[in-house]
Structure 1
Amino acid sequence: MTPEELRAEMPALDRGVYLNTGAGGPSPRRVVEATEDALEFHEYEAPTGAGTYGALFEALEETREVVADHVNVAPESVALTQSTTDGIGRVAAAMDWEPGDVVVRTDQEHSAGILPWERLRETHGVEVRVVEAADGQVDREEWKAAVDGAKLAVFSSLCWTDGCRLPVGELTDIAQDAGARVLVDAVQSVGQRPVDFDAWGADAVAAAGHKWLLAPTGTGFLHVTDAFARDLDPAQVGYMGVEDPEADDWDLKPDARRFETGSVSPVPYAGLREGVATVENVGYDTVTDRIERLTDRLKAGLGDRLVSPERYESGLVAFAADDPIETAERLDDAGIRVRDIPPTGTVRVSVHVFNTADDIDALLDAL
């Protein structure tokens, strides 16, 4: 599939210039049709066929395998969630916190990677240490000092504010050498560049499909290594997360699947499978090459307003504006969808493989 063929399948793009995939990607028809087919099968055929629960379990297992293959981990190490925030929250609630425990995060985290630890600060007396990561630069000595004695280190593989990539493997090694567990927010990476969760070596990675994978909202996934999972006590327990729900002495599943509790809709996950297949069909060489060329064009046009690095980092590009909220609203009125980023007071543009040079030029002309 070419980028042009993908674009032709995306009705949302007929209504304006969409440069906000970092918030949520519009789905192509094939993804929507996959979800519609899944809904009809589940409600029309499964009840008197494979059975409602039989069809559900089969759909979830298929999704788990597709996701696991895409990020290079074992299927059993993947729990299906509703969002990245959901996945991070499940890990936070499952750890055994005591007063004085330390969590380390960067100053570029999304609220999903900030609020759980602030809540733990209030409820459990947890200490939160913050390390600077602007421009994707993390001082290694500062990071090493911060994670010394920490229980958990949390950071994003790609900053949602300016699109910079962080050295996931290196930061993970430093934190784990200090005895800390590592939780990575990878939602801005999956779908716009190839990722290998296993190679990163983190104890847990949370992500979702509704951004760069072009899947429906509600399609989160959480990778947890078996060694870490066995130390986690989920806040909620249901029949899907235990070995034998009928046993008097039931045991939690020994892996990430302990985070799954009860029945969920299989419908959005059909869209996730199709979203993954679509991106893989286009190919990551094509995705990254096109994003790099378009972001280079955008950065050249922005000139001194550019906040993100001139070098290629990702499809997220931030620029300065006197009034970011007003600028985003004005662009929206002109049919160009971007978003303002409150923590940094900037406007962020998201460029994906379905975007074109005309999209970039329309934005620059409007500015």
Structure 2
Amino acid sequence: MDIEALRHDTPGTTGRVHLNNAGAGLMSRRTLRAITAHLELEAAVGGYEAADQEQERIGATYGSVAELIGGRADEVALFGNSTQAWNAAFHALELSPGARVLTGRAEYGSNVLAYLQAARRTGAEIVVVPDDASGRLDTTALAALIDERTALVGVSHVPTSGGLVNPAAEIGRITRAAGVPFLLDATQSVGQFPVDVREIGCDMLTATGRKFLRGPRGTGFLWVSSDALDRLEPSVVEIESANWDGGRGFTWQPGARRFATWEMAYANVLGLDSAVRQALDLGMDQIGKRAFALGDLLRRRLDALPGVTTHDQGTEKCAIVTAKVDGIPTADVAAALAAQHINVTTTVAEHTQFDSEIRDVHPLVRLSPHYYNTEAEIDRAVEVIAGLTR
């Protein structure tokens, strides 16, 4: 990778250190041009007319996303964010009293709330699979918990609150053998390192464009295996997702289009396509190696500071680094970094409720470098934190 060229093509790297890619990555000029060009076209000719003119490029986005994750274009539906996509998948399952949903302690907060609502409405049971000694979801315990009542295994690949990478492919092998649907929330993994739905063996996957993919906010997608469609009944139907039969009935659109909505922000869609194509051009293997290396460097540097503790779990740790400074409120640490034009954020217990039941560590400072960050930027962030401990 030509890091200097990538940074030159990323306006946000000028004047600040962006270590909040787990929140929203910095867009490249290439992606900005794709978005603004379509907005200008809409302003010049009209929204419908602009969509008609760019129909081929808009349609190509489905193929780009599919290529990124190893699926097919007809298995992809686009959404305004990953939570919408996840809810579309989850609420397409029919849960009955006594049905069990198995999930992990690292599950994202919005997903947890959806599980709790479903349990309240249907009488289903939410079962939290224990962690292994490293903090990953314990796949041996998962296999033992699956039985005839299991309706879904839903897991966050990487949590919002740390560098843990859950063993998605191992989970996929277990769910395939048991014939149980597997919904993978890949919001923090797609764009950060290679993710292949065929290798993982999940039935549904959701992700966002704004984080490590470096796309615009207001973008997300759902991938659904063709083999899983017979188990799913979308909870929302509209003119994009179904065809009226001329009488009092309708038929679903083929593939993942049955989850889609007619109205979309096409400028954002084209921005998403640009960001995905850039990731593909750079190569996800190379992106993942550099992101992990920067995360490892940052974690080791922080662990070497007196009074600073990192809290990332798992045997494999990604580019999300969480830390606490003894005696200094987390908000003050984040504010000190912000005062030096270093972008970070903080974790809250509400975003990983099941994890918070057993780990009383939040709030933590969350720093998340990506491939366009430099080692010098890592040093700068560590120096600011080191200054707080003196």
TM-score under structure 2 length normalisation? 0.86
Say if 2:296 and 2:319, in contact at 8 Å, map to a contact too: no
Following the alignment from structure 1 to structure 2, what is the Cα–Cα distance between the partners of residues 333 and 303? 23
Following the alignment from structure 2 to structure 1, what is the Cα–Cα distance between the partners of residues 315 and 379? 20
Give the match for residue 14 of structure 1: 14
Q: Is 1:330–2:336 an aligned residue pair?
A: yes
Q: Please report how far the alpha carbon of residue 317 of structure 1 lies from its aligned counterpart in structure 2 after TM superposition.
A: 1.4
AA of the residue aligned to 1:237: V
Please give the per-residue CA displacement for 1:41-74, whole angstroms capped at 9, x wherever unaligned: 3443467xx9455346544421111111111111
Q: Is 1:212–2:230 an aligned residue pair?
A: no
Q: Please report how far the alpha carbon of residue 303 of structure 1 lies from its aligned counterpart in structure 2 after TM superposition.
A: 1.8
Q: Please report how far the alpha carbon of residue 289 of structure 1 lies from its aligned counterpart in structure 2 after TM superposition.
A: 3.1
Say if 1:163 and 1:318, in contact at 8 Å, map to a contact too: yes
RMSD: 2.2
Following the alignment from structure 1 to structure 2, what is the Cα–Cα distance between the partners of residues 205 and 195? 10
Q: Please report how far the alpha carbon of residue 166 of structure 1 lies from its aligned counterpart in structure 2 after TM superposition.
A: 1.6
Say if 1:151 and 1:179, in contact at 8 Å, map to a contact too: no
Say if 1:108 and 1:132, in contact at 8 Å, map to a contact too: no
Give the match for residue 147 of structure 1: 146
SS in 2 for 1:15: coil
Q: Please report how far the alpha carbon of residue 16 of structure 1 lies from its aligned counterpart in structure 2 after TM superposition.
A: 1.5
Q: Is 1:318–2:322 an aligned residue pair?
A: yes
Give the match for residue 308 of structure 1: 312
Say if 1:68 and 1:74, in contact at 8 Å, map to a contact too: yes
Following the alignment from structure 1 to structure 2, what is the Cα–Cα distance between the partners of residues 202 and 96? 18
Q: Please report how far the alpha carbon of residue 97 of structure 1 lies from its aligned counterpart in structure 2 after TM superposition.
A: 1.9
AA of the residue aligned to 2:370: H
Q: Residues 170-319 of structure 1 correspond to what in structure 2 (within 5 A)? A: 170-242=170-242, 244-245=243-244, 247-248=246-247, 249-303=249-303, 305-308=309-312, 313-319=317-323
Following the alignment from structure 1 to structure 2, what is the Cα–Cα distance between the partners of residues 15 and 338? 15
Following the alignment from structure 2 to structure 1, what is the Cα–Cα distance between the partners of residues 205 and 314? 28
Say if 1:72 and 1:197, in contact at 8 Å, map to a contact too: yes
SS in 2 for 1:230: helix
Please give the per-residue CA displacement for 1:292-318, whole angstroms capped at 9, x wherever unaligned: 332232122112622226976311112
Please give the per-residue CA displacement for 1:309-357, whole angstroms capped at 9, x wherever unaligned: 6976311112223432332222222321112112341222101011011
Q: Please report how far the alpha carbon of residue 136 of structure 1 lies from its aligned counterpart in structure 2 after TM superposition.
A: 4.8
Give the match for residue 373 of structure 2: 355
Q: Please report how far the alpha carbon of residue 291 of structure 1 lies from its aligned counterpart in structure 2 after TM superposition.
A: 2.2
Say if 1:296 and 1:312, in contact at 8 Å, map to a contact too: no
**Identity score, percent:** 28
TM-score under structure 1 length normalisation? 0.92
Say if 2:165 and 2:314, in contact at 8 Å, map to a contact too: no
Following the alignment from structure 2 to structure 1, what is the Cα–Cα distance between the partners of residues 338 and 146? 42
* Distance change >3 Å, CA 76–CA 22, structure 1 → 2: same
Q: Is 1:69–2:67 an aligned residue pair?
A: yes
Give the match for residue 90 of structure 2: 92
Say if 1:292 and 1:312, in contact at 8 Å, map to a contact too: no
Say if 1:150 and 1:179, in contact at 8 Å, map to a contact too: no
Following the alignment from structure 1 to structure 2, what is the Cα–Cα distance between the partners of residues 266 and 138? 38
Q: Is 1:31–2:31 an aligned residue pair?
A: yes
AA of the residue aligned to 1:268: N
Q: Please report how far the alpha carbon of residue 365 of structure 1 lies from its aligned counterpart in structure 2 after TM superposition.
A: 0.6
Say if 1:328 and 1:347, in contact at 8 Å, map to a contact too: yes
* Distance change >3 Å, CA 246–CA 59, structure 1 → 2: farther
4+ residue runs over 4 A deviation: 309-312
Say if 2:105 and 2:137, in contact at 8 Å, map to a contact too: no
Following the alignment from structure 1 to structure 2, what is the Cα–Cα distance between the partners of residues 339 and 295? 15
AA of the residue aligned to 1:324: T
Q: Mean alpha-carbon deviation: is it higher for 5-14 or for 81-90?
A: 5-14
Following the alignment from structure 2 to structure 1, what is the Cα–Cα distance between the partners of residues 79 and 136? 30
Following the alignment from structure 1 to structure 2, what is the Cα–Cα distance between the partners of residues 132 and 335? 39
Following the alignment from structure 1 to structure 2, what is the Cα–Cα distance between the partners of residues 309 and 141? 18
SS in 2 for 1:262: coil
Q: Please report how far the alpha carbon of residue 281 of structure 1 lies from its aligned counterpart in structure 2 after TM superposition.
A: 2.7
Say if 2:136 and 2:313, in contact at 8 Å, map to a contact too: no
Q: Mean alpha-carbon deviation: is it higher for 180-189 or for 312-321?
A: 312-321
Following the alignment from structure 2 to structure 1, what is the Cα–Cα distance between the partners of residues 108 and 291? 23
* Distance change >3 Å, CA 168–CA 152, structure 1 → 2: same
Say if 1:79 and 1:221, in contact at 8 Å, map to a contact too: yes
Q: Is 1:342–2:360 an aligned residue pair?
A: no
Following the alignment from structure 2 to structure 1, what is the Cα–Cα distance between the partners of residues 169 and 290? 26
* Distance change >3 Å, CA 233–CA 311, structure 1 → 2: closer
Following the alignment from structure 2 to structure 1, what is the Cα–Cα distance between the partners of residues 51 and 336? 48
Please give the per-residue CA displacement for 1:223-254, whole angstroms capped at 9, x wherever unaligned: 01123223322222112112x44643431023
Q: Please report how far the alpha carbon of residue 261 of structure 1 lies from its aligned counterpart in structure 2 after TM superposition.
A: 2.4
Following the alignment from structure 1 to structure 2, what is the Cα–Cα distance between the partners of residues 324 and 178? 43
Is there any run of 5+ residues in structure 2 with no aligned partner, and where?
350-360, 386-390
* Distance change >3 Å, CA 143–CA 2, structure 1 → 2: same
Following the alignment from structure 1 to structure 2, what is the Cα–Cα distance between the partners of residues 277 and 137? 31
AA of the residue aligned to 2:33: E
Is there any run of 5+ residues in structure 1 with no aligned partner, and where?
none
Say if 1:70 and 1:276, in contact at 8 Å, map to a contact too: yes
